[in-house]
Amino acid sequence: MSRSSINKKAKLTLKGLLLANPWGFVIPVILGVIASLTGVGLLGLSGWFISATGLATAIGTGLTFNYLTPGAIVRGLAIFRTAGRYGEQVTAHNHLLGLLRILRLWVWDQRVAKDAANLHEQSRGDLLQRLVSDLDQIIRWPLVVFLPWLYALLSYAAVAILAYIILPNLLWPLAIAAVCHVIVIPYVCGRFASHSVHVAQTLGVHRRSRFISVFSALITLTIRGHWKDYAARLNQLDDRQRRMEIITQNAVSTGRLLGYIVTIGLLFSCFYLVSNYSDVTQSWTLADGVHGTWFVGFILSLLAVNELVLPLVQSFVAQGQSQVGLRRLNQLSQNVTPQESVDQVITPQKANQTQTTVHTMEFKQFRGFHSPSNMGNQAIDLAIKTNDTIWIRGESGSGKSTLLAAIAGDCLSEGEAVINGEEQSIYDNSDYQSALSYLPQSPYIFQQSVGANLRLGNPNATDEQMLAVLKAVALDSWINDLPNGLATLLSSQGRNLSGGQRKRLALARLLLRQSPVLLLDEPFDGLDKATIEVICQSLQNDYKPKILVLVSHIESRLGDDSRIIELF
Amino acid sequence: MTKHKEAKKAGRAGRVKTPEALFLGELANQQSSKYRLAQGFGVLFAVSLVLQAWALANVFSDMALHQTFSLSLLVMGLFALLLRALANFARERVCTSASRDIRYGLRRKLVSHLTKLGPARLRIEEDAALSTRVYEQVDALDDFFSRYKPQVFMVTLIPCVILMSVISVSWIAFFIFMMTAPLVIVFMIFVGHKAAQANRRQFSVLAMLSNQFMDLSQGLAELKRLNRTDEARERLSTSASAYQKTTMNVLYLAFLSTATLELFASLSIAMIALYLGLGLLEILPWQVGSSPVTLTQAMFLLLLAPEFYLPLRQLGNDYHAKQKAEAAATDLLEIVNTPVSMSAQHQAADSVDTDSTASNRTRFISFQNLSWSEAGRHRLSPITAEIAQGERVWLSGESGVGKSSLLHLLLGFEENYQGAFFVNGTPFNAMKLDEWRKSLAWLPQTPEWVNGSIRRNLLLGIESPSEDVIQAALAKSQCDDFIQGLPSGLDTKITELGAGLSGGQMQRLSITRALLSNADVWLLDEPCSGLDEETAQAVLTTLDQASEGKTLLIVSHDTHPIAWADKHWSLSTGGLHQ
């Protein structure tokens, strides 16, 4: 990463993408240039060779003609072209995969730097899915847009040398055609179609969210007899998308046709420049000093260049798509507030090493709320010290969970928070958060093994420790029944676990952290009495935290010797 | 050559076609006329290709030998090039339009199919994932239909045309092409088979990588709380590097197939150039002193040589399009193959039982030996029961016993049931579904909301009632308090509420909606299962007060008993117990 110019705070640009790993990029570029130039050279040289041999025989110098050198060069070019193309593809894809890694880590860093409330918003499955496909789109940019452009440019340069040798005047049409092919046509087609490419991309997102919104209310809409209107609007969006697609595709096809026409014009003007009409023979004769054999080679090279130029037209579509993707990705970083404690996040910080201990927590006129609905709990005063157990109760909708999330620094809050006698801003404060373990209402279970999920709590936990902690949350019989035990892979989002099991597994993970403060949101929901008893037993003995704050509507032994906070 | 190809084709057809290939083939057949047109342009393209080569070869040889050229031939050559460009342009437009028609048609079909599936669609996937299939996966077919499919024809056509035109010029060149062409094909099959496997593996490896990234990203909040983001980053980084290595091993092989083609294309140009050069010098070992071809013919052959392999190379480049399309087809087939049980709907209109006395009877629903099985599996065991008008029934039972299926039957989404099922004495399949549905209110586990304000959602599909009516309904479902607490009240956008609105509040709003719709029959599918016990009780109490006088069927687990229900049905695989 140190070499890369895509650093954590910078915005993503296409240029930055090229320079992300410059040395990894040099090899495919060189190989690709070799392959393209030898491809052009092969055809040009072959044309010259054949016409030269034909001429040699015709004028009787055939027997002295040195055919070995050009023959060897022709074979060499053929091999270089193959090897170059193969090498280019392999190294370019290697580079591309490397780029994918760098970009994913960049996205990761941006998201890590996000504060908790914004993070939730982005964690929705479909948004992330879009992010992933954006990344795949963007990394193709160098391969699909930049490299073909470079090859076309360099081939033109190479042919220009030949043109200069034959007749310097040929440079004029060549330069004009090059400008048309490499810059004007892609640019004009790009301008013409970029709007529809962008609209199509935006429509795609819009259409998708519309689909989800409408389908999630499918039954209600159907029984109200309104489904048809909504489905029709969905179709309208689809039709608009289709119109955009037509514009884009027509622009590509037309661009390619224009490319051909420019080539035809170029060929014609080249022929015109090198020849004169002679009235005597009533035919066109090549100008003095122009060798027919060389000129044949030149024309054949131009035909080869034409093949290299044609894909350029298409590249503007890829260009447009990459730009839209890039803009969306950059939105990730824009929302990061400047005074964000980015450095804290970046410096490796092992929870166990720098663990601060919390002795007292005091909250004055403290209130957690969600933005922008501003819903949350009534402001309260609360003082907690070591060895306290607090039980927060209240009606549904009284903001119990919000208050707990705010205490955990996971949710926006107002009022004063005094930790260890010092007033702190606890929201998204990673120093403070490293001292506490917070079990949210629906914790996340990773698609890894049971053991790996637990080790997120404590990377050094032994198998014995893990089994012990599973026993503490009454998951011992569950783990013993699994044929692979701790190595059992859990499916996506722990879908093969019941809600209660998921929560207990997350609790076990937290208990392994052994942090002084434990905040639990409805840990007993959906559990039977015996299981609740086991968990209470563990929390009061082996895994007793210094401070325990509990949100629950279920009576338990933990509640008996706790201070009760009633929310209204 | 042609025979060879045909034999190949026959061999391929003899193999069992995968359902994906069949599916894609069927879709392509819908646009067969457009594809035929494209093939016509392809023939034009091939002919102008040969014409161009012939005209330019004449111009070139005259230039080399006599330093002059014939203007008419040059114009003809360039005109042929223009013709080629135009044919290509037309072919592209026809193919892209065929692809568009196929894709947009398919998408409409999928959306309407999903609509008909109703609640059964969730057996395939959740909505967000379905939207990926309907949009992204359908678009993933584009390259296949617009490029790969027509290119398959060009691959046969162009070499054949070139071979035919070459045969009259030079037997040797003909044999060089003939020798290399099957070699290319054999190599393509040999390497291509391996490459296809490799490609598939790369596909799944990349999918795994994305999956890991998704998983870790979704749980990022959790990782932050655990202070383990750096470890996760490390994990992402190392696994990406590891995947890069393994994927590269796969790609080395995959690109070999392209490289082979490239090699043959390059070598045959070189071979033909050398052979022709030596031939023109009259020093070919077996033909010293005479030339097998004239310079014009030599030029003609040289110009055609690169074109001979070009279509095959393009096909090689588009090979991933096929891969992508087949992967997408797998997902799409799953939707298409989920049967819709709507067979009874057509008869409904014909056999409407216009028994005027029926509508005067008290409204009631009765099931007689009603059961429903799908693909040999019982979704609902035979039941016989009745619900009187205004009666409130609690339906309980283990999961998978068919409680939800019964509700779906009542909603009119599953009509392939066995036994009989009457509403007001009319057989259900003879009823006008639209009218029946209008009398229903539906309250599922997760309330159904569209994007928009609370007001819009409450009034979804009904005439806008007066503000008083709305307020009364809100009060009756005990939503008035928290709605007033919202900054913009009823006009708050549902999506903006996000985490702020609790599950209980969402269900209460559903009750408001049911009240406003004036529906007589309320169907509830575990409205309390996502709620904690206390909230659930409160919601049930509200429900009790709000649903007075309505006919109501509520599915609820034994953990949330419905004390105020008039009847309690307990459903099991053995049947219904009252």
Cβ pair B266:A216 closer than 8 A? no
Strands B377-387, B365-374: pairing kind? antiparallel
CB nearest to B240's CB, from A86, A100, A132 = A100
Question: Is B505 at the interface with chain A, CB within 8 A?
Answer: yes
Domain boundaries, chain A: 14-336, 360-567
B interface test, pick of A115, A221, A223, A350 with most B CB neighbours within 10 Å = A223
Query: What's the pLDDT at B8?
Result: 44
**What does the pLDDT look like over A364-383, one tens digit per residue?**
888 888 776 677 778 888 88
Query: What's the pLDDT at A175?
Result: 94
Question: Is B70 at the interface with chain A, CB within 8 A?
Answer: yes
Q: In DSSP terms, which residues pair with A390 in a beta bridge?
A: A549, A563
Strand order in the sheet with B68-69: A275-278, A283-286, B68-69
Question: Which helix H or strand E contains B525, and what residues bound it?
Answer: strand B521-525
Which positions in chain B touch A207 (Cβ < 8 Å)?
Answer: 135
B interface test, pick of A48, A55, A123, A219 with most B CB neighbours within 10 Å = A219
Query: What's the pLDDT at A119?
Result: 66
Cβ pair A296:B228 closer than 8 A? no
* Gap from A480 CA to chain B (nearest CA, Å): 26
Query: What's the pLDDT at A113?
Result: 80
Cβ pair B244:A94 closer than 8 A? yes
Chain A residue closest in CA terms to B96:
A249
Which positions in chain A touch B248 (Cβ < 8 Å)?
Answer: 90, 93-94, 97
d(CA B353, CA B424): 11
Helix, strand, or coil (residue A50)? helix
Residues 115-154 of B with CB under 8 A from A: 115, 118-119, 121, 127-132, 134-136
Cβ pair B498:A370 closer than 8 A? yes
Full pLDDT tens readout for chain A, 568 residues = 334 445 555 677 777 777 777 888 888 899 999 999 998 998 898 888 888 888 888 887 766 778 888 888 888 888 888 888 888 888 888 888 888 888 888 888 888 887 776 666 655 556 666 777 788 778 888 888 889 999 999 999 999 999 999 888 899 999 999 999 999 998 888 888 888 888 888 888 788 878 887 887 888 888 877 788 888 888 899 999 999 999 999 999 999 999 999 999 999 999 998 888 877 777 788 887 888 888 999 999 999 999 889 888 888 778 888 888 888 888 776 654 443 333 333 334 444 444 567 788 888 888 888 776 677 778 888 888 888 888 888 776 677 888 888 888 888 888 888 888 888 888 877 778 788 889 988 788 888 888 888 988 888 889 999 999 999 998 888 888 888 888 888 866 555 677 778 888 999 999 988 888 899 988 887 778 888 888 888 888 888 888 889 888 777 877 777 888 887 7
Full pLDDT tens readout for chain B, 578 residues = 344 444 444 444 445 678 888 899 999 999 999 999 999 999 999 999 999 999 999 999 888 888 888 889 999 999 999 999 999 999 999 999 999 999 999 999 999 888 888 877 877 777 777 887 888 889 889 989 998 899 889 988 998 899 888 888 878 778 878 877 777 677 666 666 666 666 666 666 666 777 778 778 778 888 888 878 888 888 888 878 877 787 787 777 767 767 777 787 777 778 778 888 888 888 777 777 777 778 888 888 888 888 888 887 777 777 777 877 887 888 889 888 887 765 444 333 333 344 433 443 445 788 877 877 766 666 777 888 888 888 888 888 776 677 777 888 888 877 777 777 788 777 887 777 777 888 888 888 777 777 778 888 888 777 778 888 888 888 888 888 778 777 777 887 776 545 456 777 888 888 888 888 888 888 888 887 767 777 788 888 888 888 888 888 888 877 778 888 888 888 877 777 77
Cβ pair A125:B247 closer than 8 A? no
**What tokens appear for B328 in the block?**
């997408």
Chain B residue closest in CA terms to A275:
B68
Largest CA distance in chain B: 112
CB nearest to B461's CB, from A226, A443, A506 = A226
Which positions in chain B touch A79 (Cβ < 8 Å)?
Answer: 263, 266
Q: Tally the residues of chain B.
A: 578
The CA-atom distances, in angstroms, between B510 and each of A36, A97, B127, B492, B513 are: 65, 48, 20, 16, 5
Helix, strand, or coil (residue A419)? strand
A interface test, pick of B56, B66, B124, B281 with most A CB neighbours within 10 Å = B281
Cβ pair A54:B61 closer than 8 A? yes
Question: Is B506 at the interface with chain A, CB within 8 A?
Answer: no
Which positions in chain A touch B299 (Cβ < 8 Å)?
Answer: 47, 50-51, 296
CB nearest to B64's CB, from A55, A129, A226 = A55
DSSP A551: E
CB nearest to A295's CB, from B63, B86, B100 = B63
CB A154 within 8 A of CB A33: yes
Cβ pair B504:A220 closer than 8 A? no
Query: What's the pLDDT at B517?
Result: 82
Cβ pair A47:B60 closer than 8 A? yes
Chain B residue closest in CA terms to A86:
B259
Rg from Cα positions in chain B = 35
Question: Which helix H or strand E contains A451, and what residues bound it?
Answer: helix A450-455
Query: What's the pLDDT at A5?
Result: 46
What residue has token string 């093969």?
Answer: A496
How many CB pairs (< 8 A) connect A and B? 429
* Gap from A153 CA to chain B (nearest CA, Å): 22
CA A479 from centre of chain: 36
> Among 1.10.8.60, 1.10.1040.50, 1.20.1560.10, 1.10.260.40, what is the CATH number of A14-336?
1.20.1560.10
- What is the percent of chain B where pLDDT is above 90? 14
Chain A residue closest in CA terms to B499:
A370
* Gap from B379 CA to chain A (nearest CA, Å): 20
The structural domains of chain B, ordered by start, are 18-168 (no CATH), 170-292 (no CATH), 345-577 (3.40.50.300)
Q: Please, is B72 exposed, middle or buried when counting C-beta atoms within 10 Å of its C-beta (0-12, 13-18, 19+)? A: exposed
CA atoms within 13 A on the CB side of B14: 6
Query: What's the pLDDT at A63?
Result: 67
d(CA B549, CA B545): 10
Question: Is B44 at the interface with chain A, CB within 8 A?
Answer: no
> Among 3.40.50.300, 3.40.640.10, 1.10.260.40, 1.10.510.10, what is the CATH number of A360-567?
3.40.50.300
Instruction: For residue A514, give the nearest of A448, A447, A460, A452 by alpha carbon.
Output: A460
Query: What's the pLDDT at B5?
Result: 43
The CA-atom distances, in angstroms, between A438 and each of A448, B294, B503, B512 are: 21, 87, 21, 35
Query: What's the pLDDT at A125?
Result: 57
CA A220 from centre of chain: 36
Question: Is B65 at the interface with chain A, CB within 8 A?
Answer: yes
**What tokens appear for A96 in the block?**
């591309």
Cβ pair A219:B444 closer than 8 A? yes
Q: Please, is A484 exposed, middle or buried when counting C-beta atoms within 10 Å of its C-beta (0-12, 13-18, 19+)? A: exposed
What does A187-243 look like in DSSP terms, one character per residue?
A: HHHHHHHHHHHHHHHHHHHHHHHHHHHHHHTHHHHHHTT-HHHHHHHHHHHHHHHHH
* Gap from B427 CA to chain A (nearest CA, Å): 19
Question: Is B78 at the interface with chain A, CB within 8 A?
Answer: yes
Interface ipTM > 0.85: no
CB B414 within 8 A of CB B121: no
